Structure 1
Amino acid sequence: MTNPLSLADQITLELRADIIGGRLIPGMALIENNLVSAYNASRNTIREALHRLGQEGLTRYVRNKGVMVRRLGVADVRDLFKVRRTLELQAILTSKPLSEYQSDRMLEALEAADLAREREDWRAVGTHSLAFHQHVVGLMRSPLLDEFFTNVVAQLRLVFCSAPDEARFQAPWLARDRQIHDWLAEGDKLAAHEGMSLYLDDSEQLLLHLLTSANAH
């Protein structure tokens, strides 16, 4: 039996989900009193949850301001994409042919991203696109890697929010996500691997360009 989650665990997961969903964005203050009220939790429980988010690289303590949602920089982006290449490319190379269930989960994320694009909800587009990439890593069938990659996704979400023009950043990727799914569904691992490798190179370069341009102004 798995141990039931503590309240601090639950709050940590919910706050992380709010980051992945784009509801908590870089520079936003996580005010202890507000969280105590929102979660009907003790100060110690809230502090424990905030401490865990800090350990995950999602928040930081700022003197005289308290705990803030973290703003990531160029070095963070390079490190995150190093991790993405390691996990996503390995997942594709070692994957078995997609099961109907795996394919359906990927397609659900892609269709949700398409609907968000039609609404011009670019933040949701990014969230659903990241869900697709979580399903790619999920091909390795490792709960530990899934948990680790969820934290990577949360950090990526913060980087996306930092891009000054999220529409410009998100627009190119949906068709490429779908093509990677189609190659996986056809069992063409080499094409999927090459497509994902190029995708990650291009995505990293565009993000670095957007961040360095924003920092220059």
Structure 2
Amino acid sequence: MSNLPPQHASEGLSLADQVAHELREDIIGGRLLSGMALVEADLVNRYNASRNTVREALHQLGREGLATYVRNKGVMVRRLGVAEVRDLFLVRRTLEIQAILGSKPLREYQSDRMLDAIEAAELARDREDWQAFGTHSLRFHQHIVGLLRSPLLDAFFTNIAAQMRLVFAVAPDEENFQRPWLERDHEIHDLLAAGHRQAAAEGMNRYLDDSEHALLDLLSHPTRA
């Protein structure tokens, strides 16, 4: 059984919201992958929640594009295709580049959060844990969006990060796909820390272009390493 984070109760979230949050975090963490079944009875036991609560949480994930109902199989973690990937990167460019261009000088706590995500990715790389590596890279980009200082956009981008994590799973060789991004995350942070917002935005735009092209190529050639 999972213990739901106590802070969510203080934030006034319903139990269904908390279950949905946990499932979303499991997706971002790479513990739930595309095509995995979300079995209602298992989730009832895991969260000590009613069937109605679990159903409401699954409906919420469905509305967010993270789960889908498959006939004769039930609710499953969603598989994303080319159109969805292109849309995800449209959203990412809109939010991440605007966050960089509109940001004020990077505060120490903002820099620390980004560096913590980069350091965690480095440790995951050293352990050759590429699943965790991808998760920490997404955390870095969540901190980029956090520069907008909008709780609504932070919550929205959490869903975008979860969908991106599902797309990462198409890579047959996670090491080759994930490894190149760490240095570029570090470069974007360093440019921001130095106050070079335009250069950081240009670096982010190239980063997102290259990442989108790589993922679209993998979707078009799923057996390519």
TM-score range with shorter-chain normalisation? over 0.9
* Distance in structure 2 (CA, Å) of the matches to 1:208 and 1:98: 33
* Distance in structure 2 (CA, Å) of the matches to 1:14 and 1:141: 23
**Runs of 5+ unmatched residues, structure 1:** none
Which position in structure 1 is the counterpart of 2:63?
55
Which position in structure 1 is the counterpart of 2:51?
43
| Number of equivalent positions | 215
Which position in structure 1 is the counterpart of 2:197?
189
1:163: Cα distance to partner?
2.0
Which position in structure 2 is the counterpart of 1:135?
143
Once structures 1 and 2 are overlaid, which stretch shifts more, 180-189 or 32-41?
32-41
**Runs of 5+ unmatched residues, structure 2:** 1-9
Change (3 A) 1:103 1:3: closer
| TM-score, normalised via structure 1 length | 0.97
Match of 1:118 among 126, 139, 143: 126
Q: Give yes or no for the alignment of 1:13 onto 2:21.
A: yes
1:136: Cα distance to partner?
0.5
Q: Secondary structure at the match of 1:140?
A: coil
Q: Give yes or no for the alignment of 1:204 onto 2:212.
A: yes
2:197 counterpart letter in structure 1:
K
- Two-structure CA RMSD over aligned residues (Å): 1.2
Give the 4+ runs in structure 1 shifted more than 4 A: none
1:148 counterpart letter in structure 2:
F
1:127: Cα distance to partner?
0.4
Q: Give yes or no for the alignment of 1:4 onto 2:12.
A: yes
1:210: Cα distance to partner?
1.2
* Distance in structure 2 (CA, Å) of the matches to 1:10 and 1:215: 37
* Distance in structure 1 (CA, Å) of the matches to 2:28 and 2:165: 6
Q: Secondary structure at the match of 2:169?
A: helix
- Percentage of matched positions with identical amino acids: 72
Q: How does 1:77-116 map to 2 (within 5 A)?
A: 77-116=85-124
